[in-house]
Amino acid sequence: MAYSGTIATEADIALMAGENVDATGDTEANHNLLMAQAESYLCNLMRYNVVDNYGALNGDVKAMLTEWAARYCAISLIAYNLTSGFSILEAEDMINLHIYRMQQIERLLRNQNVCTYLKGA
């Protein structure tokens, strides 16, 4: 099975997840599943098929979408086994940081004026 994500690469996911995620959950199959969930969420949030139109988007726009999607996947990988290489406190802090940044991005993407701008940038 090959990685099939469009919005973020496996390297993007690994960067956000950190080095201590449990290898049992950090698999290509899980990356595909999590990225499909993230991409679907972004398409619905933006009311735009960002996956099919990803190549037409400006690089600056892509960076924000990549960040959101990679953080989404990272949360699940960190939470897969909180005791694998993290302290519970460290894992919780990482997840909270991801959630904070994702909420900031979502606030922007919920504004249809911003989405219209992103599509035309």
CA distance 5 to 69: 10
Structural contact between residues 35 and 5, judged by C-beta atoms closer than 8 angstroms: yes
Q: What share of the chain is helix, strand, coil (3-state, %, to 5)?
A: 70, 0, 30
3-class DSSP state of 36: helix
pLDDT of the chain along its 121 residues, tens only?
799 999 999 999 999 999 889 999 999 999 999 999 999 999 999 999 999 999 999 998 899 999 999 999 999 999 998 777 778 889 999 999 999 999 999 999 999 888 888 888 7
